[in-house]
A and B are shown apart, each in its own frame.
Chain A
Amino acid sequence: MQDTSSITNFDTIVGAGNYSVETKLVINNVEYGEDKIFSVKTSRQLFTTQNPTIGNAVVGRLDATIVQPTANIPQAAEIKPYIRVFNDSLVSGWLQKGVFFFYQRWIDDDSDAMKIVAFDAMFRGNQTYPSSKLQWDDTHPYAWQVVNEILSFMDVTAEEDTLTLLRQSDYIVQFPAQYSMRDVLGSIAAMYGGSFMMTNEGLMRFVAFADLPGETFYLVTNDGSPITFGGKKILVRG
């Protein structure tokens, strides 16, 4: 769950229910409000097949249709969707819902609108592993060292928790000849029992298959925040 505690009114409005969502896109640092947006859709699949899998490096995808912008949009420009919630009396701050990069754009002949296909930074991993500066032998490198090098190649930052987790094991990785960086990331993710993905904030995150947040049975509000009495959560037993 994204941390929304610092976003004005967000939890209050969602908790009260009966809210609506407003969307905007920020393309190359230029905002496009709903008056210029026809549709926006994002998609993330942690599994690559119809069965649960591990060892993936998930690429998030954004599909959008907008009014043709007047501003110039460079190649592989950054596009970030934002949402905010509102009801009859309150409007929240904006919540970022991903960081994507233009992959393809075209003008629809019928609507004269711009259609956009964009992927997040994981897409950059679809390149053959570049020339490595790591030492590769029977005892080198560790998996987390390889991930760090891939992050630098992809110009991506990972969440600190992910880096901490990777450092907890000293798996040795064989030299990834002819493998893409995503392949390498996927292979390493399999060793740890999960997959890599990009967060809504644009950071790389390792998602463990079996590390779901525990079911707490706490009494929560509509938005999932625990209700407390004097700071104590309420445990509900069925």
Chain B
Amino acid sequence: MSDLIYIGKDVQSFKKSNRFEPYDRVVLNLDDNYYVSSPSVSVTNASVYDNYANGTYTFTYSPDESKWETPTHSYVTSSELESTYGLTVHYSDVTSPKSGDVITVTKTTVDNESKITVDMARSGSALRANCPLVKPSDRQKVADNLLKRVYGFAYQPYSAKGAYMNPAAEIGDAITAYNVFSGLFEQDTTFNRLFLSDIGSALSEEAAIEMQYETNTDRRYNRKLAETAAQFSILSDRISSFVTNQAFQAALEVMANQISAKVSGTGGDANSFAWSLSTDGFNLYADGNLVFKCDRNGITVNGNGTFTGEVYASNIRSDAVSGYGGSFSGGGITPGSIASAQCSEGIVQSLGYADFFNSAIQPSTSTYPQNFTAARIDAYNAFYSGGYKVREQGEVVYDLTAHYHSFTERDGKIYMSAPTGDSSHANFNIADTETYKAAVPASRAVLYCNATNYQDVSSGFDCDMTGASYHYDVNGVTYGRIAIRNSSGTDLKTIRVKLPASGGEITNSVTITGAQSSSATNRGVITATASTNTGVTATGTYNIYLNVTENTSSRVTVVVLDGSSNQLATRSFTPQTSGKTVSGVNITRAGYNDYYWTGSAWHIPVKARVTYSDSTYDDFTGDISVQDVVEAAQREAGCTGHVEVTSTSGNSAFIKIYNSSWSAVSVGGSSVGKWITAGTSETFG
């Protein structure tokens, strides 16, 4: 229901218990001569029932007299409202009409006389039309449809006489005259050379903005002024704008298929910068040279580029660097070094090599980039030169499964230095058990293990060379091998042992025969034997000699020498029989049954007898180092390593064998060292 309700002057509020809907318009007649067309409406004590609000509707009005009009409508009184429309009218005082705060209710109405009213939103006026032929049953439908069509439409009155406009303009066209947008509702056209029209959209009460018309003279004058500083033209296929002053010239051209702009210096500074936007690309120019281009193929930059953020690229072409003769500065990646199609996660495929020395991973020897502490290099292909140093916790993974030849043949080296004070990360793994075997026999491969803080022997070093050949040559010398095992029988380390000329691996290492005097001579013999698993046995005979270097009535000194005249020990004593002449000295017993500790080493007592000229004699005891004796025997046998007597018991000594680096050698698999009894022989190994 869309009511048009006129209320008499004595009615300022009423209570409506009937239907009242949005956009209903209420015209409040204040007296017989004026009415306010746009009252504000407030609702109090309203309740909603059956989609309609019941409550007290209070109307205030704008006192703006310019909005008042002479009433042209009939109105009803409150009593008529009650009797005719079923409205309950209450009275209240409106003592202070509010200025402004006006709610304009837009509405279309088809009244009982089939008069159509369209209330205007902006002007406070209304369109009214007689519509006698509309059927009463269609009035509401017509009003509703009209409201949908016109609601919110802002009618803009104007008039423009002598308008110079497109000759094809006609009634119903929209027109923009300066900032006024309205319709062409009136058109009186005079057919002459200028084809001028008087146009407008009428409204009697408001003056309109007139569309100005410039004479030809006016236009020429204005254009001339404009050209002095700037020129702007719009043609059917082009828009161009030029601005000039003493400092520069600027131009903007908008054409059908291109937009371009240019700024040029006109004084001593003749720099210029320009850009163009076309259907296929965007270009930037500096001093006439293309510096940046963007098109469907990507971007091209002629010159340097600075990226303050990260740069991502799915592919770096092999010729992207070398093809232009450029390089990655700093020497980190030399031209052509990354030639493969992908560098997505490091160098996953390379036909060349990656030289990271002093670059990405290690930019300097003194400063390590912290963000590369977990750097990883996967090198699944050969390395033809150079090497890798990975600091901190970096990991180098070599897959040498099918490429070991290139490694060994190129004399490749792997250096690994454990961080100072941190041995836990110095892990070096050759994961593929099939590759290292082949890496050795070329005879020139050298594995350096500089684990200066090597601590965890059992887990930190696992280099099993037993599968390799039984001998190898270094500088033309043939060496055998001794495997060092821990108490569990696991080989810990191997040492090279110079073998007899026929070579072979020492399996039965050393046999020591205790030195003892078998005759009254000044010479004793210790025998050491080394045999190999190839059946070669080398026996070294260690001779000791006693020389009397001092022979007086009060003091006799005997020196123990080995076969090479190396002094092993010296012993001085006072003869028991004084004043007699020594006629000879003989070893009566040596290294037998009575080793003793001198405070720094175990020694073999050497018993000797000094015979005097009257056949009297004195027996005395000297000593030599067992260690010296055994090592002398080893040297005679051509063996390296050391032997240590760690304890004695009766006429037996506990012998331990060490390699040349004084690492204990496992003997027998369950203990380090072995008891040996004087006068017998034992086999080590």
Contacts and interface: CB of A to CB of B under 8 A. Distances in A.
Interface in B168-189: 168-174, 176, 181-183, 185-189
A29 interface: no
B201 interface: yes
B235 A10 contact: no
Interface string A197-224: 1011000010111111111000101111
Interface in A39-60: 39-47, 49-56, 58
B234 A230 contact: no
A229 B254 contact: yes
A157 interface: no
A37 B191 CA distance: 10
A212 B182 contact: yes
A187 B135 CA distance: 11
A12 B134 contact: no
29 contacts: A1-B169, A10-B168, A14-B166, A15-B236, A21-B167, A39-B191, A40-B190, A41-B188, A42-B187, A43-B188, A44-B188, A45-B185, A52-B120, A52-B127, A53-B129, A83-B167, A85-B167, A169-B145, A171-B134, A171-B141, A172-B135, A174-B133, A193-B150, A197-B171, A211-B149, A213-B174, A222-B234, A227-B254, A230-B279
Contact of B118 (A45, A183, A193, A224): A193
Nearest to A216: B174
A51 B126 CA distance: 8
A121 interface: no
Interface in A6-33: 10-12, 14-16, 18, 20-23
B134 A174 contact: yes
B193 interface: yes
B285 to A, nearest CB: 20
B247 interface: no
A46 to B, nearest CB: 4
B127 A172 contact: no
B404 to A, nearest CB: 62
Contact of A41 (B167, B171, B190, B236): B190
A-B complex: 5 closest residue pairs judged by Cβ atoms? A55-B129, A210-B153, A40-B191, A50-B204, A21-B195
A217 B170 CA distance: 20
A4 interface: yes
A188 interface: yes
Nearest to B141: A171
Contacts of A49: 202
Contacts of A190: 116, 129-131, 134
Nearest to A50: B204
A172 B137 CA distance: 9
B194 A184 contact: no
Interface string B497-512: 0000000000000000
A171 B201 CA distance: 29
B235 A16 contact: yes
B236 A207 contact: no
A52 B193 contact: no
A166 interface: no
Contacts of A95: 167-168
B236 A12 contact: yes
A10 B166 CA distance: 10
Interface string A163-203: 00000010111101001000110111011110001011000
A224 B190 CA distance: 21
Interface residues of B, number: 62
A224 B234 CA distance: 11
A111 interface: no
Contacts of A184: 133
A204 B505 CA distance: 121
Contacts of B236: 11-12, 15-16, 221, 225, 227
Given A2-B168, A212-B174, A52 B155 contact: yes
Given A2-B170, A55-B131, A193-B150, A45 B186 contact: yes
Interface of B: 116, 118, 120, 125, 127-135, 137-138, 141-142, 145-146, 149-150, 153, 155, 157, 166-174, 176, 181-183, 185-195, 201-204, 216, 234-236, 239, 254, 256-257, 259, 279
A233 interface: no
A172 B173 CA distance: 30
A54 B129 contact: yes
Contacts of B186: 44-47
Given A1-B166, A209-B150, 10 more contacts: A42-B188, A43-B189, A54-B127, A171-B142, A172-B135, A172-B138, A199-B170, A207-B171, A211-B149, A224-B166
A81 interface: yes
Q: Which of A22, A179, A193 has the most CB of B within 10 A?
A: A193
B279 A46 contact: no
Nearest to A3: B168
Given A171-B141, A172-B138, A187-B130, A47 B185 contact: yes
Contacts of B157: 52
A75 B124 CA distance: 47
A36 interface: no
Contacts of B137: 172
A85 B192 CA distance: 11
A208 B192 contact: no
Contact of A207 (B167, B172, B192, B204): B172
B189 A97 contact: yes
Nearest to B128: A53
A46 B191 contact: no
Nearest to A138: B135
A210 to B, nearest CB: 4
A104 interface: no
Contacts of B171: 44, 46, 58, 197, 207
Contacts of A18: 216
A214 B183 CA distance: 10
Contact of A213 (B134, B153, B173, B257): B173
A20 B193 contact: yes
Interface in A61-83: 81, 83
